[in-house]
Amino acid sequence: MHIILLGPPGVGKGTLAGSLAKKFGIPKISTGDIFREAVQRNTVLGKKAKAFMGKGALVPDEIVIGIVDERLQKKDCRNGFILDGFPRTIKQAEALGRITGIDAVLNLKSEDNVIIQREDDKPETVKKRLEVYRRETTPLMQYYEEKKLLKNINAEKSIEEVFEDAVKAMSSS
Ligand code: AMP
Protein backbone atom coordinates (compact mmCIF):
# COMPACT_ATOMS: atom_id res chain seq x y z
CA MET A 1 0.00 0.00 0.00
CA HIS A 2 1.68 3.18 -1.21
CA ILE A 3 -0.19 6.15 0.20
CA ILE A 4 0.27 9.93 0.11
CA LEU A 5 -1.45 12.33 2.50
CA LEU A 6 -2.16 15.80 1.19
CA GLY A 7 -3.70 18.75 2.98
CA PRO A 8 -3.01 22.25 4.29
CA PRO A 9 -0.61 22.87 7.16
CA GLY A 10 -2.29 22.14 10.48
CA VAL A 11 -5.13 19.98 9.15
CA GLY A 12 -3.96 16.91 11.07
CA LYS A 13 -1.98 14.94 8.49
CA GLY A 14 0.66 13.86 10.99
CA THR A 15 -1.84 12.43 13.48
CA LEU A 16 -3.80 10.61 10.79
CA ALA A 17 -0.64 9.28 9.17
CA GLY A 18 0.44 7.88 12.54
CA SER A 19 -2.88 6.08 13.13
CA LEU A 20 -3.01 4.67 9.60
CA ALA A 21 0.59 3.50 9.79
CA LYS A 22 -0.21 1.64 13.00
CA LYS A 23 -3.38 0.05 11.63
CA PHE A 24 -1.77 -1.19 8.41
CA GLY A 25 1.64 -2.01 9.90
CA ILE A 26 3.53 0.19 7.47
CA PRO A 27 5.87 3.10 8.21
CA LYS A 28 4.82 6.73 8.28
CA ILE A 29 7.42 8.77 6.47
CA SER A 30 7.30 12.44 7.40
CA THR A 31 9.88 14.61 5.68
CA GLY A 32 9.19 17.33 8.26
CA ASP A 33 10.11 14.88 11.07
CA ILE A 34 13.25 13.83 9.21
CA PHE A 35 14.34 17.46 8.87
CA ARG A 36 13.47 18.36 12.46
CA GLU A 37 15.52 15.45 13.73
CA ALA A 38 18.44 16.42 11.49
CA VAL A 39 18.28 20.00 12.80
CA GLN A 40 18.27 18.75 16.37
CA ARG A 41 21.26 16.51 15.75
CA ASN A 42 22.97 19.37 13.90
CA THR A 43 23.91 17.14 10.96
CA VAL A 44 24.99 18.44 7.55
CA LEU A 45 21.42 17.95 6.35
CA GLY A 46 20.07 19.71 9.41
CA LYS A 47 22.29 22.70 8.83
CA LYS A 48 21.11 22.96 5.22
CA ALA A 49 17.43 22.53 6.06
CA LYS A 50 17.29 24.84 9.05
CA ALA A 51 17.42 28.14 7.17
CA PHE A 52 14.53 27.16 4.88
CA MET A 53 12.38 25.71 7.65
CA GLY A 54 12.76 28.73 9.90
CA LYS A 55 11.37 30.95 7.16
CA GLY A 56 8.42 28.70 6.32
CA ALA A 57 10.06 28.05 2.93
CA LEU A 58 10.51 24.68 1.28
CA VAL A 59 13.79 22.82 1.44
CA PRO A 60 15.06 22.53 -2.19
CA ASP A 61 13.55 19.68 -4.21
CA GLU A 62 16.89 17.91 -4.91
CA ILE A 63 17.59 17.55 -1.20
CA VAL A 64 14.11 16.30 -0.27
CA ILE A 65 13.89 13.91 -3.21
CA GLY A 66 17.25 12.34 -2.36
CA ILE A 67 16.16 11.76 1.22
CA VAL A 68 12.85 10.19 0.32
CA ASP A 69 14.44 8.00 -2.37
CA GLU A 70 16.89 6.64 0.19
CA ARG A 71 14.21 6.16 2.83
CA LEU A 72 11.91 4.23 0.49
CA GLN A 73 14.68 1.71 -0.24
CA LYS A 74 14.69 0.58 3.40
CA LYS A 75 13.33 -2.84 4.26
CA ASP A 76 10.42 -1.60 6.34
CA CYS A 77 8.86 -0.08 3.20
CA ARG A 78 8.49 -3.48 1.53
CA ASN A 79 4.79 -3.73 2.37
CA GLY A 80 4.11 -0.08 1.78
CA PHE A 81 4.34 3.35 3.38
CA ILE A 82 2.42 6.49 4.18
CA LEU A 83 4.00 9.72 3.03
CA ASP A 84 3.22 12.72 5.21
CA GLY A 85 4.47 16.06 3.90
CA PHE A 86 5.90 14.72 0.65
CA PRO A 87 5.47 15.45 -2.21
CA ARG A 88 4.92 19.18 -1.85
CA THR A 89 5.76 20.30 -5.37
CA ILE A 90 5.06 18.95 -8.86
CA LYS A 91 8.80 18.27 -9.28
CA GLN A 92 8.75 16.11 -6.15
CA ALA A 93 5.63 14.28 -7.36
CA GLU A 94 7.25 13.56 -10.73
CA ALA A 95 10.41 12.30 -9.06
CA LEU A 96 8.36 10.09 -6.73
CA GLY A 97 6.56 8.67 -9.75
CA ARG A 98 9.94 7.61 -11.16
CA ILE A 99 10.93 5.97 -7.86
CA THR A 100 7.73 4.02 -7.16
CA GLY A 101 4.02 3.65 -7.93
CA ILE A 102 1.32 5.20 -5.77
CA ASP A 103 -2.01 3.53 -4.90
CA ALA A 104 -3.94 6.44 -3.40
CA VAL A 105 -3.60 10.10 -2.46
CA LEU A 106 -5.77 11.03 0.51
CA ASN A 107 -6.58 14.72 0.30
CA LEU A 108 -7.65 16.14 3.65
CA LYS A 109 -10.02 19.01 3.01
CA SER A 110 -11.03 21.72 5.43
CA GLU A 111 -12.82 25.00 4.82
CA ASP A 112 -11.94 26.09 8.33
CA ASN A 113 -9.03 28.39 8.84
CA VAL A 114 -6.65 25.80 10.12
CA ILE A 115 -4.47 26.71 13.05
CA ILE A 116 -0.87 26.14 12.19
CA GLN A 117 0.95 28.21 14.73
CA ARG A 118 3.72 26.21 16.30
CA GLU A 119 5.38 27.30 19.47
CA ASP A 120 8.49 28.60 17.78
CA ASP A 121 6.68 30.15 14.78
CA LYS A 122 6.56 33.83 14.04
CA PRO A 123 3.39 35.15 12.33
CA GLU A 124 5.33 35.85 9.13
CA THR A 125 6.55 32.25 9.07
CA VAL A 126 2.96 31.00 9.31
CA LYS A 127 1.86 33.34 6.53
CA LYS A 128 4.73 32.24 4.32
CA ARG A 129 4.01 28.56 4.95
CA LEU A 130 0.39 29.01 3.84
CA GLU A 131 1.46 30.98 0.77
CA VAL A 132 3.94 28.28 -0.20
CA TYR A 133 1.26 25.64 0.30
CA ARG A 134 -1.19 27.44 -2.00
CA ARG A 135 1.36 28.14 -4.68
CA GLU A 136 3.47 24.97 -4.70
CA THR A 137 1.36 22.20 -3.20
CA THR A 138 -2.27 22.75 -4.25
CA PRO A 139 -1.41 21.99 -7.93
CA LEU A 140 -0.77 18.42 -6.76
CA MET A 141 -4.51 17.92 -6.32
CA GLN A 142 -5.12 18.29 -10.03
CA TYR A 143 -2.00 16.31 -10.82
CA TYR A 144 -3.26 13.29 -8.87
CA GLU A 145 -6.90 13.83 -9.85
CA GLU A 146 -5.83 13.39 -13.46
CA LYS A 147 -4.12 10.15 -12.50
CA LYS A 148 -7.38 9.04 -10.81
CA LEU A 149 -5.61 8.63 -7.49
CA LEU A 150 -7.10 11.52 -5.51
CA LYS A 151 -9.53 10.67 -2.70
CA ASN A 152 -11.02 13.65 -0.95
CA ILE A 153 -11.63 13.31 2.77
CA ASN A 154 -13.59 15.78 4.85
CA ALA A 155 -11.18 16.71 7.64
CA GLU A 156 -13.75 18.74 9.56
CA LYS A 157 -15.23 15.63 11.14
CA SER A 158 -14.00 14.09 14.38
CA ILE A 159 -10.58 12.45 14.43
CA GLU A 160 -12.26 9.01 14.63
CA GLU A 161 -14.51 9.68 11.63
CA VAL A 162 -11.65 11.06 9.54
CA PHE A 163 -9.67 7.93 10.40
CA GLU A 164 -12.58 5.66 9.35
CA ASP A 165 -13.07 7.53 6.09
CA ALA A 166 -9.35 7.29 5.37
CA VAL A 167 -9.34 3.54 6.05
CA LYS A 168 -12.30 3.10 3.67
CA ALA A 169 -10.56 5.16 1.00
CA MET A 170 -7.42 3.05 1.35
CA SER A 171 -9.32 -0.20 1.28
CA SER A 172 -11.11 0.76 -1.94
CA SER A 173 -7.92 1.75 -3.71
P1 AMP B 1 6.11 19.80 8.02
O2 AMP B 1 6.26 19.30 9.42
O3 AMP B 1 5.70 18.73 7.05
O4 AMP B 1 5.22 21.01 7.93
O5 AMP B 1 7.57 20.27 7.55
C6 AMP B 1 8.28 21.26 8.23
C7 AMP B 1 9.21 21.99 7.26
O8 AMP B 1 10.14 21.08 6.69
C9 AMP B 1 8.51 22.64 6.09
O10 AMP B 1 8.00 23.92 6.40
C11 AMP B 1 9.64 22.71 5.07
O12 AMP B 1 10.54 23.75 5.36
C13 AMP B 1 10.37 21.40 5.32
N14 AMP B 1 9.78 20.31 4.49
C15 AMP B 1 9.11 19.21 4.91
N16 AMP B 1 8.73 18.45 3.90
C17 AMP B 1 9.17 19.08 2.77
C18 AMP B 1 9.07 18.80 1.38
N19 AMP B 1 8.44 17.71 0.92
N20 AMP B 1 9.63 19.68 0.53
C21 AMP B 1 10.28 20.77 0.96
N22 AMP B 1 10.40 21.11 2.25
C23 AMP B 1 9.84 20.26 3.15
pLDDT tops 80 at residue 75: yes
Position 112 scores a pLDDT of 65
pTM: 0.94
Specify the higher pLDDT residue, 116 or 89.
89
Out of 4, 13, 31, 120, give the residue to mutate to test ligand 1, the one with the largest number of ligand atoms within 8 Å of its CB: 31
Contacts of 115 (CB under 8 A, 6+ apart): 10
For 129-163, the pLDDT digits (tens) are 889 999 999 999 999 999 999 999 999 999 999 99
Question: In this structure, are residues 21 and 27 in contact, taking their beta carbons and an 8 Å threshold?
Answer: yes
Tally Cβ neighbours within 10 Å of residue 45.
18
Query: 32 C-alpha vs ligand 1 centroid, how far in Å?
Result: 5
Q: How far is the CA of 159 from the centre of ligand 1 (A)?
A: 23
Q: Is 58 in the pocket of ligand 1 (CB under 6 A)?
A: yes
Residue 19 has pLDDT above 70, yes or no: yes
